[in-house]
Amino acid sequence: MNLSKSKYFHSLNSFGIVLIFVCLFSCDLIRMKKEKSNDENKRKLIARVNNAFLYADELKGIVPEKTTKDDSAARINAYVTSWVRKQLLIQEALKTINIDEAEVERKVLDYRYSLIGYEFLNYYIQQHLNDSVDDVSIEAYYKEHLDNFILKQNIIRGTYIKVSKDAPRTKRIKDLMFSVKEKEINELKSYCLSFSAAYHLADSSWIEFDKLAVNSPLAEIPNKIQFLRSYNYYETNDQAYLYFLKVDAYKITDNVSPLEFVKHDIKNIILNKRKVELAKKLEDEVYENAAKQKDFEVFTK
């Protein structure tokens, strides 16, 4: 056999091998498409928007357990309607403007990672957070950050009672409000529970004056600061009700808030700071452990 024939047969053999691979690959591709098509045919189709499809198995988890049949149907219908509307909007956007789909995919991945990280951080914080905040810590934070607790409203500590004009023994209310006898203090509580339309009894708590005065003639007072400076007791009325107010103490806007008024807020601030510290600790631990195990590499350009 001469050299040219040898090359011819070698080429023919190579072509045959390639042809066999192409045939095999094509058969595999046809089989995969057929299997995919069969799998999709087995799935229950719920909705279609052009070439986008929503299947029944994609609705898992939308309806919580022990949901009634009617509520389940309502939730699913709402989800399907929302899916259709979003698909229509997406497809209209793709027809109207140029979308950088690679950038969209990156943003989707970033959002997915953020959600997963957020869930893990929440789990870690729940496992490790000390949610006990003592009064010493609250007071220390308050003293260190007084400028953060400037009042934006007038607040009072005292007693407020709103009763119908038809209520019994209304002339005794003032005496009960000023009494320090335990029996009469309890009598006032009982009276308020039985006859008042609204009330706030004196204790150590502070309350915003505007919140206390809502739905009463007190809300119409033009200069509330001057009012608080002038009256420690005040009575008024409208067509249907009598209003009684005794002011034991007050603080006006632009002054430092009493500790008791912001105590709950300070506790939340301290807890949030702890959560931030725990999140940073978790990120550092994961990074340092991965670095020790050589679980990642950064390649320079």
Count structural domains, the chain.
4
Calpha distance 56→76 (Å, rounded): 10
Residue 217 lies in a domain: yes
DSSP state of 258: P
Asked if residue 166 and residue 114 are part of one domain, the reply reads no
Asked if residue 290 and residue 200 are part of one domain, the reply reads no
Residue 300 lies in a domain: no
- Where in the sequence is the domain holding 273, given as residue range(s)? 100-138+263-295
Q: Does residue 41 have a pLDDT over 80?
A: no
**Rounded to the nearest 10 degrees, what angle do helices 135-144 and 259-292 cross at?**
100
Asked if residue 160 and residue 237 are part of one domain, the reply reads yes
Can you give the pLDDT at residue 80?
A: 93
In a 10 Å sphere around its CB, with 0-12 CB exposed, 13-18 middle and 19+ buried, how is residue 59 labelled? Answer: middle
Asked if residue 233 and residue 201 are part of one domain, the reply reads yes
Residue 146 lies in a domain: no
Q: Does residue 26 have a pLDDT over 50?
A: no
Asked if residue 279 and residue 187 are part of one domain, the reply reads no
Average pLDDT of the segment spanning 269-294: 93
Asked if residue 50 and residue 92 are part of one domain, the reply reads yes
Phi and psi (nearest 5°) for 256? Answer: -70, 135
Return mean pLDDT, the chain: 86
The answer to pTM > 0.85 is: no
Asked if residue 244 and residue 202 are part of one domain, the reply reads yes
Phi and psi (nearest 5°) for 242? Answer: -110, 145
R_g (Cα) of the chain, nearest Å: 37
Q: Per-residue pLDDT tens for 51-65? A: 999 999 998 888 888
Residue 187 lies in a domain: yes
**Burial per residue of 261-300, b for 16 or more beta-carbon CB atoms within 10 angstroms, e otherwise:** bbbeebbebbbeebbeebbeebeeeeeeeeeeeeeeeeee
Can you give the pLDDT at residue 262?
A: 95
Contacts of 178 (CB under 8 A, 6+ apart): 233, 246
More confident residue, 282 or 298: 282
